[in-house]
Amino acid sequence: MRFIVGLAISGGGPTSHTAILARTLGLPAIVAAGSALLAAPEGSQAVIDGSVGAVYLNVARADLDRAEAVVAAQAAARAALRESRHQPAETTDGHRVEIAANVANAKQAAAAIEAGAEGVGLMRTEFLFLERDTAPDEDEQYRIYREMTEVMAGRPLIIRTLDIGGDKQVPYLNLPAEENPFLGVRGARLLLTRQDLLYTQLRALYRAAKHGPIKIMFPMVTHTGEIEALRTHCARARAQVDGPVVPIGIMVEVPAVAVMADRFAPLVDFFSIGTNDLTQYTLAIDRQHPDLAAQADSLHPAVLTLIANTVRAAKASGTWVGVCGGLAGDPLGARILTGLGVDELSMSAQDVASVKAALRGESFAAMQTLAERAVAATTPEAVRAL
């Protein structure tokens, strides 16, 4: 990736994993550019503007000069933000929010801490299973998770169990083809049916937890019975390796959980709201659909209402709640989420400094008012207009 300076793809969506990886790497990117992009002559010079989702082909020299000036100005702005990246995200009236990062490995975790992150709110373990011919065994996973605890040096570390399915497929697992994998056997649903994968990962996690604090998070939970079953498996795996007790939480990404959050909260130690999947399930829009990508907007008041309900139920139960979806890394989204009362925001390391700066620049009271108005709005555009 050393010589890649930007990505422009004809399909996909802004919360597809290609887009997430581009953000993690700090690359400007546009998605769903359509067939016109494929017709561009090979070797064309182009300017990619990821902020508005535009790609300009065959640009004149004067336009290139202007683009280079914008790049330089953005680099200077990022450098200025870096100076305060380790300061806490504390509002002008003293309310503090934990800022964490979404990572896939120890190298990214170290880079996130350097970028100002105070912990890891989401380690995506599915990347350990990709681009290989066999699943990682218990010892390999243990070494990776232990390395994560060493890098984190006591900082918060939430590790999500295997989240295969949807737009992430692993051929060697021999999973049956599904017409709609986003609504199929994925996340916790898969682990409960493939207990070989579940116990291998849980034993590795509990062994690693002897070396530093770890929280275990299960994705794609839909029923309270799944939590009860997963807790039983966790207790059994912990006993097998004589591991410590660790907090167990779930992703809130299925609307059913957000609607019934008051009944889920007492069963878990924490919630982490995945706004990307919660948005696609709430709005019935595939997050990778090129024609609907712009409509898959996490600032839709329906999504914000579900988040507000989740936070309210979590607070009533004394359950910690974070957000690890794309909305957390958006300065406007971060202000709204803070106003709704979340405890932590986890995002790409590239977004940490700017989100911290946005939260430091306003009062918690103002963010609460903003959040109330956002939830009461009727469209995402009305939310942005606030």
Q: Which residues are catalytic?
A: 17, 324
80, amino acid identity? A
Residues 6+ apart with CB under 8 A from 52: none
**Structural contact between residues 19 and 12, judged by C-beta atoms closer than 8 angstroms:** yes
Tokens standing for 371?
């959040």
Measuring CA to CA, which residue among 269, 266, 279, 348 is closest to residue 307?
A: 279
Work out the number of other CB atoms within 10 angstroms of the CB of residue 137.
10
Instruction: Report d(CA 29, CA 137) in Å as an integer.
Output: 35
- Residues 302, 266, 283: CA angle, nearest 5 degrees: 15
**Euclidean distance between the first and final Cα of the chain, in Å?**
38
Q: Which residues contact 361 (CB under 8 A, 6 or more apart)?
A: 92
H or E element that contains 381:
helix 380-385
**Pairing relationship of beta strands 54-57 and 46-49 according to DSSP bridges:** antiparallel
Neighbour tally for 233: CB within 10 Å: 16
Query: What is the DSSP track for 99-138?
Result: EEEEESSHHHHHHHHHTT-SSEEEEEGGGGTSSSSS---H
- Structure tokens, 156: 């918060």
Phi, psi of 212 (to 5 degrees): 175, 160
Closest by CA position to 328, among listed 301, 355, 288, 290:
355
